[in-house]
Amino acid sequence: MTGRFVEIADRVHVLREPLLAVNVTLVCGDGEALLVDTLSSAGQAAELAAAVRAVTGAPLTLVNTHHHYDHWFGNATFAAEPPRPVWAHDLAAEAMRDDPDGLRRQAYEELRDEHPELAAELADTTLLAPTHTVRTEAVLDVGGRRVVLRHPGRGHTDADLVVQVPDADVLVTGDLVEQSGPPAFEDSFPLQWPDAVAELLRSTTPATVVVPGHGEPVDVGFVRAQHADLVELAWLIRAGHTGCAPPERVAAEAPFPARPALIAARRGYAELDGTA
């Protein structure tokens, strides 16, 4: 089962899907609502839709924080019929629109051994690309509530969006911040990721509730600590590249587990070589 929404601030609700710990955020206004991310498959999205209806029957606007399968493969369940707006960064929307089969194959390969049932389910899921795009920032009116969509720079991907609800002091970061595990670096820009997190920190207050892409909501102190680890990682990558050290040596000294740290080191070297 997908789970249920929990209100974390005034009319801002979060549901954490149990299999991959993905967070979905529901922002309710007067007669309208905003749903941030839609999970991995039509089956998951159908359960998510029931959880949404338990909170509100208002028409939805969707936001996808980035193009990875667990954040948008459920779009069609919510926005295909009747059509509803779906927002994403323009580069993420381009990937979703131009290569959905490639993204589906990549997701299937990632899931088939550890989560074969979900892999089979998403293989048959109808995909729906975003209809509206953001380059730097967009401001939405959600039933009288101001909601800001912002691209803070390259980090987890080249097309991450964060969603800010100023009147509730909530910041939804997508996978730019992770709580249930280390950051995922497969499509990342580890030398630029610290700057992206620093940019989003500038929009917080000491009381801001931060909703990461996966795991429990966190406070600003958690984000600052993860930012410090990302800064250290970027420094190690630059130093290792300058000294012609193998990426494995960088990974051994990094403040993250060995496998993601090695992926990050290789991605960082590619950035410095101009091949990322």
Q: For residue 268, what are its two tokens?
A: 């960082």
pLDDT digits (tens, 9 = 90+) for 45-74: 999 999 999 999 999 999 999 999 999 999
Pick among 3.40.50.300, 3.60.15.10, 3.40.50.360, 3.40.630.10: CATH of 6-216: 3.60.15.10
- Give the angle subtended at the CA of 128 by the CAs of 179 and 148, to the nearest 5°: 50
CB 39 within 8 A of CB 22: yes
Assessment of whether the complete model's pTM goes beyond 0.85: yes
pLDDT digits (tens, 9 = 90+) for 158-197: 999 999 999 999 999 999 999 999 999 999 999 999 999 9
Q: Which residue has the tokens 């795009």?
A: 133
| C-alpha distances in Å from residue 87, one per residue of 32, 64, 160 | 15, 6, 12
- Residue 85, preceding peptide bond in cis (omega within 30° of 0): no
CB 175 within 8 A of CB 156: yes
